[in-house]
Amino acid sequence: MNHEHSSLEPLLDIARDLTASLAADNRYARLLGAVRRLLPCDAACLLRLEGDDLVPVAAHGLTPAALARRYPRREHPRLDVILRSADPVRFPPDSTLPDPFDGLVAGAGAPLTDHIHACLGCRLTEGGEVVGALTADAFEPHAFDALDPQMLATLGALAGAAMRTTSLIESLERQADHRGRVARDLQQTAAASSGGQLLGSSAALSRLRDEIRLVAASDLAVLLTGETGVGKELVAHQIHAASPRHDEALIQVNCAALPVSIAESELFGHITGAFTGATRDRAGKFEVASGGTLFLDEIGELPLELQPKLLRALQQGEIQRVGSDRVHRVDVRILAATNRDLSREVGAGRFRADLYHRLAVFPMRVPSLADRRADIPALAAHFADLNRRRLGLGSVRFTDEALAELTGADWPGNVRELENVVSRAVLRAAAGQPPHAPVTIGLAHLDVVARVAPARAPEAALETPPRAAAPLREQVDAFQRQRILDAVTAHDGNWAAAARALGMHRSNLHQLAGRLEIRKPR
C-alpha cells in the first residue's frame, strides 16, 4: 500500500500540473522531478518530437553537450524503437543497440560508454499523436526490473499530455510575445513617423516650424497644402503632438480611399439595419476622434454629395449616424491636407466654397524639396540610417559626389522620392558586403533620373564648342555657382531673398558663395 501510494503521488502531481498556471520551463522541470521520484535513474531526459528529430527540453544527470544536440530517429535506433512501441520499452543490459546518451551522463559513477546499464523509454502521446519520448538510464543493470508496467504506461500517458499542454503554452507565449513586439514596433514606428522631427535647417523649414508652433496652441482648422510627398502627414502629426489635445487620439482618414457608398458611414457611423450589411451599431471617425484630432487626408477627393454633412459637422460640432435621427455632439479639431489647388476646385464646381473656407481657417503650405535643398544631406543621412538598422549594416556614408548628385537633382516626388532613392542606394551599396561592415554610397548606387539643368541661353549653347567633360566636382561647383548667381540676379542683388528662393539659410548661402569664390557686390 505504501509502495502504491508512493507511486501514485508523483502521478497525481503531474495530473494536477496539467491545469495549473505554470510557465513552460516550470512545467518541464516539475514533470522531470516527478519522473525522478518514480524511476530509480541516474539520468532522465524529456524529448520533444520535431519532424523526425527528438529535441531535449529538460534533462537530469546529462552533460550540457547532451542537451545541445538534436537526435534524428534514423541515427538512433533505440529512440526509433521507443517511438514505434505503444508500450514502455526496457532494453536488456546486453543490447547491441547504441544508447544515444553513452558517455553523456554527468552524475557520479562511470560514464555510460558500454552497454552494461539499465535503459528504458516510453513514447509520449496526446490524442493519438506522438509528441515526444521519455528516457531513463541507470548505472545498475537491473534498476528497472521491478517497475510496474501499468505505472510506466500511466506515466507515459500523463507525461505526453503534459508535453502537449506545455508545447501549446509555449506556442501561445511565442505568439503573445510576437504580437507584443509587433505592437511595440508599431508604436515605435508610429512615434518615429508621426511624432518624429522635421529634419533640416533651411529657411523654408524654419518658417514651417514657426507656423506649427503658432497654430498648434489653438483649435483652428488647418488646411495643409503642397506637392505629393512633401510630408503633409508628418506636419499634421507635429501639430497634434504640440497641441493641448496631444494626450487624445489622432484619427486619420484617407478621403481618396473612401468609396462613395460607405464614406458617410466611415465618417459619421451607422445604426443596425441602416443598410445591407449593417448588422450592428458602429461609431464613425468623428465620434472616435472626439476630444482629439481628426486628420482628413486628401480632402480634395471627398465626394461632393458628402461635403454638406461634413460642413455641418465642422460648423455645429454635430453628426448623425446613417439611419438615425439622433444627433451626436462631437469635439474634434480638424486638420486637412491636399495636393490639389482647392480654390481652383471651388471655381470648377468640384468643391464647396463654404467648406473650403471652413477648412482653410489657417492655411499652411508645406515646402517642396526644391524649396529646401539645403536639407537634402540631412534627410539622406536619416533615411540611410533607417535602412542601416533595418538591414543590420555598419555605418553608411555618402561620397561627396553622391551628395552633390542628390542635392542637385530634381525631386518631383519630394521627400518620399528621396527616401526611395536612398533606400535603393543603400541596398545596392551593401550587396556583397559582410555583416556590419561600413557601407559607402557612390554615384553608381544612385538612380536619380531627372536633374535640374542650369539655365542657359540657346545662343550660348550653340556657340560653345564641344570639349572634354570637366571633373564631376568642378561640374557641381559650376552648377551651384550658376544657380546662386541666377537667384541673386532674379532678386535684384538681395541675398536674403535669394537664400529663401534656394531653400537655404542666409549664412549657409554666404558660406557656400565664399567657397565658390562668388564676390558679393559692395
Report the range of poorest mean pLDDT among 139-148, 230-239, 463-472, 507-516: 463-472
Residue whose cell numbers read 518631383: 412
pLDDT at 92 exceeding the cut of 50: yes
pLDDT at 110 exceeding the cut of 60: no
Beta bridge partners of 225: 338, 365
Q: Model confidence over 441-482: pLDDT tens digits?
A: 998 899 875 454 443 333 333 344 444 445 666 777 777 888
Helix axes 506-515, 472-490, angle to 10 degrees: 130
Q: Model confidence over 204-258: pLDDT tens digits?
A: 999 999 999 999 999 999 999 999 889 999 999 999 999 999 888 888 988 888 7
pLDDT at 488 exceeding the cut of 50: yes
pLDDT reported for residue 205: 92
Contact 400, 473 (CB under 8 A): yes
pLDDT at 131 exceeding the cut of 70: yes
Residue whose cell numbers read 451599431: 281
SS3 50: strand
Give the Cα separation of 104 and 402 in Å (integer): 59
Q: Give the helix/strand (H/E) hosting 344.
A: helix 342-347
Percent of the chain exceeding pLDDT 70 equals 80
Give the Cα separation of 308 and 313 in Å (integer): 9
Give the Cα separation of 388 and 152 in Å (integer): 56
Q: Model confidence over 392-415: pLDDT tens digits?
A: 888 899 999 999 999 988 888 899
Give the Cα separation of 124 and 156 in Å (integer): 6
pLDDT at 129 exceeding the cut of 60: yes
SS3 46: strand
pLDDT at 178 exceeding the cut of 80: no
Please count the other Cβ atoms lying within 10 Å of the Cβ belonging to residue 488: 22
Strands (DSSP E) contained in 112-163 are 118-126, 129-138
pLDDT reported for residue 297: 92
Top-confidence residue, 14 or 150: 150
State the DSSP code for 466: P
Residue 188: all three cell numbers together: 515605435
Give the Cα separation of 517 and 488 in Å (integer): 15
195 band by pLDDT with thresholds 50, 70 and 90: very low
**Mean pLDDT on 18-27:** 59
Give Cβ neighbours of residue 121 (< 8 Å, ≥ 6 apart).
78, 79, 81, 82, 88, 89, 91, 133, 134, 135, 136
Q: Model confidence over 448-457: pLDDT tens digits?
A: 754 544 433 3
- Between CA 399 and CA 405, with CA 404 as vertex, the angle to 5 degrees is 95
Contact 68, 106 (CB under 8 A): no
Top-confidence residue, 131 or 374: 374
Give the Cα separation of 62 and 73 in Å (integer): 19
pTM attached to this predicted model: 0.51
516 band by pLDDT with thresholds 50, 70 and 90: confident
Contact 93, 117 (CB under 8 A): yes
pLDDT at 83 exceeding the cut of 80: yes
pLDDT reported for residue 5: 44
Whats the size of the chain, residue-wise? 522
Residue 182: all three cell numbers together: 509587433
Q: What is the CA radius of gyration of the chain?
A: 36
pLDDT reported for residue 21: 55
Give Cβ neighbours of residue 442 (< 8 Å, ≥ 6 apart).
398, 399, 401, 402, 429
179 band by pLDDT with thresholds 50, 70 and 90: low
Contact 160, 150 (CB under 8 A): no
Contact 330, 283 (CB under 8 A): no
Beta bridge partners of 483: none
Q: Give the helix/strand (H/E) hosting 177.
A: helix 149-194
Q: Model confidence over 54-81: pLDDT tens digits?
A: 988 888 888 888 887 889 989 999 999 9
Q: 486 in the Ramachandran plot: left (φ > 0), alpha (ψ -120 to 50) or beta? A: alpha
pLDDT reported for residue 12: 65
Give the Cα separation of 83 and 73 in Å (integer): 8
Give Cβ neighbours of residue 185 (< 8 Å, ≥ 6 apart).
none
Give the Cα separation of 424 and 430 in Å (integer): 10
pLDDT reported for residue 79: 93
DSSP, residue by residue, 468-515 = PPPPHHHHHHHHHHHHHHHHHHHTTT-HHHHHHHTT--HHHHHHHHHH
pLDDT reported for residue 62: 85
Give the Cα separation of 306 and 319 in Å (integer): 12
pLDDT reported for residue 460: 39
Q: Model confidence over 416-444: pLDDT tens digits?
A: 999 999 999 999 998 888 877 888 999 88
Top-confidence residue, 284 or 30: 284
Give the Cα separation of 323 and 276 in Å (integer): 12
Top-confidence residue, 29 or 236: 236
Residue 55: all three cell numbers together: 529535441
Residue whose cell numbers read 554610397: 441
- Give the burial string for 15-34 (b: 16+ CB within 10 Å, else e): eebeeeebebeebbebbbeb
pLDDT at 183 exceeding the cut of 70: no
Encode 410-441 in three state secondary structure.
CCCCHHHHHHHHHHHHHHHHHCCCCCCCCEEE
Give Cβ neighbours of residue 10 (< 8 Å, ≥ 6 apart).
34, 35, 37, 38
Nearest alpha carbon to residue 123 among 92, 69, 163: 163
User: What are the two backbone dihedrals, phi and then psi, of residue 135, each rounded to the nearest 5 degrees?
Assistant: -125, 150
194 band by pLDDT with thresholds 50, 70 and 90: very low
Residue 437: all three cell numbers together: 561592415
pLDDT at 376 exceeding the cut of 90: yes
SS3 366: coil
Give the Cα separation of 152 and 461 in Å (integer): 97
**Mean pLDDT on 275-284:** 80
